[in-house]
Structure 1
Amino acid sequence: MRIYRYFILMLMVPLLWGTPSCSLEEELYSTPTPEAIRTETDATAVVNGMYARFNDAAAFKFQGMLMLMLMADDLYSDSGSEYGPWGQRTLSGVNTASFWNQLYLTIGHANDVIKLMDDRQFSAEFEKRIYGEAYFIRAFCYYYLVRMYGGVPLRLEAVDINSNFYLPRSSVDQVYTQIFEDLTKASIRLPLAKSIAAAELGRASKGAAQAFMAQASLTYGNQLSLKGQDPTLHYSNAITYADSVITSGQYELLNFADLFDITKETNAYNEVIFGVRFQTDNQNRAQPAAGSEFALRFMAPATVGVTGRPNTSGAANIKPMHWFADFYRTGDYALGTGNTAILDFRNEVSFYLRGKNAAGNTVVMYPDTTLRSNTARVAFPLVGKYKDPGGKDERNHGNDLFIIRFAEMYLIKAEAENELRGPTPVAITAFNEVRKRAQRANGTPRAVPVLLPDNNSGNLTKAQFRLKIFHERGLELVGEGQRWFDLVRMQHPTDPSKTMYEYQFKEELPQTKYPKTLPVWRPNVAPPRWSNSNAVYAPALNVSVPKFLLFPVPTSELLQNPSIGLRNQNIGW
């Protein structure tokens, strides 16, 4: 896919619109123009270039990854440097420009593709699919923008010299209206997933458009509910579209371990509905490469054989909080305690529990207290979903970022049904589908996670079941960039005007039962153990509300766009 990035420069004006601070004096040679795009092969290259924007360092490869992974309550970073503003909660509008700009560049690219289809004549089936992909990508970008920044400028046409370069912020409602319109157009034009060739994995399908329609409907319904408005239509739509995907016959729940096995990644797309594809890049290295960095960022320096780094170890820039790892060793997710507990199989996949160091000795990660000779210990948990020992270099791996999976369709259906009617048999059955897959483990069934009785004999309230769904999503989707979105959209357990973010950050985690000093290994006590458990990385609590319910609009946008201006920054920033 990397070679198609050259086609991204097909029009100069849209690029300059997306990056207003770029110099106008640079002369571009041999830049493809719309007139040069004449065949379906040419147009396909342009479309592939549109997708390639997502694996740029400004987007999901690095800068976007930091925003999505480090502002929730499950992951943290004490690495400093580029991680510091997120880990220490000291970010500003200077830090949020890269992802904003890349999403708008991609929107500009999608608008160019739509205009290209308007101006050219290709076969009907080809045009239908390309239009669908352009509408899908535009909706996808606006969906990220509206959730992260609130109301944003809506640009829906290709830019030319007569365009208005300074659009005001549209309302959140207007942006969601456009997202739903584009996803509807995409859904009726895109092919079914199973008709897409393996070589085209990563391109949008009908199921992808419907899956995002389900998720966006749920999210918008959540936002209406938080404002005291009627969310009924959107919760109903969430169920309708989730059911469309569930009954489509295009997807299935796979063995959870196989999903994140780099050698089985192509097959993973039997469950993955849409993902950002990364491929080990033999032409480039490090940040410019089309490969991903997740193996480097999530794995620890003490472990080997997990990345393509020269010494084959990770950097542990992004780590699960200790409380988060401890939580999923209790309650519905474990039988017994300590090292002999039977855990939810997803725990063994989502957290990297044991490895080897360069000396060949066993390395165990927090919270393991196993006593062995020649055992090294890592004092923090690790996300285990991203391992690629065959990567070309430290920032050049083949691990994809799965944006939305089939499992989430069941959780969306369960949540929307619960919001409408409480924990009905329909809601609980959908919820249990995800837990049943986890129980099947790696071929040996387990009794955890515990299934909920379909008739709700445990008498869960709507708020209690919502919290169950929140926790289930936490384990199922850890390290996949969903947690912050869940925190800011889901309702507080007891106050319908507040978010789950406020519950976790302002009420739950500040309690003394969550130590603010991270644990260390104590080998000289009997028995040897960690100094404490359930710890929270203290700087992560340095937040205020409503400030941290949105990211700040980039300072560069406020300064350069007079239709927005410095006075129209998000609250608190």
Structure 2
Amino acid sequence: MKLFRYLTLLLVLPGLLAVQSCSLEEELPSTPTPDAIKTQDDVTAVVNGLYARFNDASAFKFQGFMMLMFMADDMYSSDGSEFGPYGQRTLSGVNTGSLWNQLYLTIGHSNDLIKLMDNMKLDADFEKRVYGEAYFIRAFCYYYLVRLYGGVPLRTEPTGINSDFYLPRSSVDQVYAQIFDDLRKASALLPLSKNIKAAELGRASKGAAQGILSQAYLTYGNQLSLKGQSATEQYSNAVVYADSVINSGQYRLIPNFADLFEVTKETAAYEEVLFGVRFQTDNQNRAQPAAGSEFALRFMAPATVGVTARANTSGAATLKPMHWFVDFYRTGDYAIGTGNSAILDSRDEVSFYTRGKNSNGYKVVMYPDTTITPNESRVANAIVGKYKDPNGKDERNHGNDLFIIRLAEIYLIKAEALNELYGATPEAIMAFNEVRERAQNANGVKRPVPLLLPEDGSATFTKSEFRMKIFHERGLELLAEGQRWFDLVRMQHPSNPTKTMYEYQFLEELPKSTYPKTLPTWLPTQRRWSNKNAVYAPTLNVSVPKFLLFPLPTNELLQNPSIGEKNQNPGW
């Protein structure tokens, strides 16, 4: 049974008003006072309640999920309702408040927990871990806030009657300084992954703190580099913490890539996963209030049964991979040959679900497959195949977790940071090849793709060329894991070091005529798709610097005079 099922126990310290975060919309829940929290079990319940906030509908279950998945160049949505503002690029600060509020509420309760522990006397090892988790969770929240919104208000003390409720935005540099400080503390206090009990799977470990430290140093270094500032220290720290994880002996690459996303094997997946947001099928609630995830519904095909929520239910395909993105990974380093007979990277077969069955038992074939079978159904778009759970209770109530950071990414972080420091050195290429070697052997039968890069020093990649290799590798390895938009806005343009990969992809590469803006249709008499490499046109309705950050929530601007409407992010 998974952890964090229905735990919502929170802290309310004396003098706390109905404002835990910087949002003034928060309502004070009915929760126990510190006097009621006396034992280790009480504190453990509080800690579990903090983690439970991440699988809330306002966070990674739904609202935060949309922000992470919809705004990059690899996915699109043609649906309306809540998805339309993201899919059509018409969102505003009205759409971004839920995640902001949830992260700040979690920060507020992390601050409360730290204060509570300052005034309690419990087992020393227990106290160390709780402090470590409070620092980790606070840093985790600020890390998402600063990447999504830029500089944000920093609150590191409990909110009381004499608190300043109207904090101004801190600088990006100040927020990162707090993140690094909290994560370093967490790293020193948290237990090793293998020392965490099976029943506590999903709680933070030393490796989780060090892994996110590595990623955060790389991200902050990228931002400094884009501004023409030295990032040597940040890239060096990224390598140091990546090596700490790699050499810890706590993690390994799961031999079969497909096993990472088999819901019945999720416990074993955490041999590679450093940290994930845990979900479980909730037998007491249903739909959005349930503790289960919605990924199987959002990603899987509407014509295919057996992938979501038991019996003959099917997915909604609310979020689909762009055709150009799918086609890209059937070329170059990732494929030998063309068409249905091509030898593909084994991750392609996991990441893109190409064949299923409808309720009548007939085959369902998704783009780009061109095979013909009797009585088939054909879906004119690709489908993400990482999230399937036929035993979910209902369509919005599955057991699929969202992996935040895995060992495979740590290798790619090391490769990227080394490249930014020294170029495509043999050490950087060896780290990169670790990920590709697993892909070659993922199903137990070695494949010639993806191609390994030479590790003997004969590689002649420029720094920019190797950065593009890493960018593309991350695209397939981490598809639908919430990383692509972050990669686009942090990584450098291939030829202009003052611009981002976002500007390159959205303003230069994808607008080209080689990427049709009309989505493919099936031509039955010709037994082929009408076109390939298509881009969903509305996703190109972007400008810079506007879309390099999300807009601050409208209510925050209206209610916090220390920020005000004039301090909205550029372009919004």
Coarse TM-score class (shorter-chain normalised): over 0.9
1:359 aligns with 2:377: no
Q: Counterpart of 2:219?
A: 219
Q: CA deviation at 1:458?
A: 4.2
TM-score, normalised relative to structure 1: 0.97
Q: Counterpart of 1:532?
A: 531
- Does the 8 A contact of 2:11 with 2:34 survive in 1? no
Q: Counterpart of 1:128?
A: 128
Q: CA deviation at 1:264?
A: 0.3
Once residues 450 and 501 of structure 1 are traced to their aligned partners in structure 2, the CA distance between those partners, rounded to angstroms, is 26
- Does the 8 A contact of 1:488 with 1:501 survive in 2? yes
Once residues 34 and 351 of structure 1 are traced to their aligned partners in structure 2, the CA distance between those partners, rounded to angstroms, is 49
Once residues 459 and 221 of structure 2 are traced to their aligned partners in structure 1, the CA distance between those partners, rounded to angstroms, is 27
Query: 3-state DSSP class of the match of 1:253?
Result: coil
1:17 aligns with 2:20: yes
Q: CA deviation at 1:372?
A: 1.5
Once residues 171 and 17 of structure 1 are traced to their aligned partners in structure 2, the CA distance between those partners, rounded to angstroms, is 21
Query: 3-state DSSP class of the match of 1:273?
Result: strand
- Does the 8 A contact of 1:326 with 1:533 survive in 2? yes
Q: Counterpart of 1:5?
A: 7
Q: CA deviation at 1:353?
A: 1.1
Q: Counterpart of 1:394?
A: 395
Query: 3-state DSSP class of the match of 1:216?
Result: helix
Q: Counterpart of 1:79?
A: 79
Once residues 378 and 338 of structure 1 are traced to their aligned partners in structure 2, the CA distance between those partners, rounded to angstroms, is 17
1:500 aligns with 2:501: yes
Query: 3-state DSSP class of the match of 2:9?
Result: helix
1:569 aligns with 2:572: no
Q: Counterpart of 2:540?
A: 541
What pairs up with 1:135-150 in 2 under 5 angstroms? 135-150=135-150
Q: Counterpart of 2:491?
A: 490
Q: CA deviation at 1:21?
A: 2.3
Q: CA deviation at 1:384?
A: 0.4
Letter in 2 for 1:363: V
Q: Counterpart of 1:109?
A: 109
What pairs up with 1:172-191 in 2 under 5 angstroms? 172-191=172-191
1:379 aligns with 2:380: yes
Q: Which 5+ residue runs of structure 2 have no aligned equivalent? A: none
Q: Counterpart of 2:97?
A: 97
- Does the 8 A contact of 1:103 with 1:141 survive in 2? yes
Query: 3-state DSSP class of the match of 2:180?
Result: helix
Once residues 47 and 182 of structure 1 are traced to their aligned partners in structure 2, the CA distance between those partners, rounded to angstroms, is 16
% identical equivalent positions: 74
1:70 aligns with 2:70: yes
1:412 aligns with 2:416: no
1:485-525 CA distance string (max 9 Å, x none): 00000000000000000000000000000000000000022
- Does the 8 A contact of 1:111 with 1:157 survive in 2? yes
Letter in 2 for 1:391: G
Once residues 114 and 144 of structure 1 are traced to their aligned partners in structure 2, the CA distance between those partners, rounded to angstroms, is 21
Across the aligned residues of Structure 1 and Structure 2, the Cα RMSD in angstroms comes to 1.2
Q: CA deviation at 1:375?
A: 1.7
Once residues 413 and 440 of structure 2 are traced to their aligned partners in structure 1, the CA distance between those partners, rounded to angstroms, is 20
Q: CA deviation at 1:456?
A: 4.8
Q: CA deviation at 1:350?
A: 0.6
Q: CA deviation at 1:177?
A: 0.3
Q: Counterpart of 1:47?
A: 47
1:353-406 CA distance string (max 9 Å, x none): 111011100111100001221221110001000000000111000000000000
Once residues 273 and 153 of structure 1 are traced to their aligned partners in structure 2, the CA distance between those partners, rounded to angstroms, is 28
Once residues 538 and 457 of structure 2 are traced to their aligned partners in structure 1, the CA distance between those partners, rounded to angstroms, is 39
Q: CA deviation at 1:6?
A: 3.4
Letter in 2 for 1:566: E
Letter in 1 for 2:253: L
Aligned length: 567
Q: Counterpart of 2:266?
A: 265
TM-score, normalised relative to structure 2: 0.98
- Does the 8 A contact of 1:14 with 1:109 survive in 2? no
Query: 3-state DSSP class of the match of 1:82?
Result: coil
- Does the 8 A contact of 1:55 with 1:278 survive in 2? yes
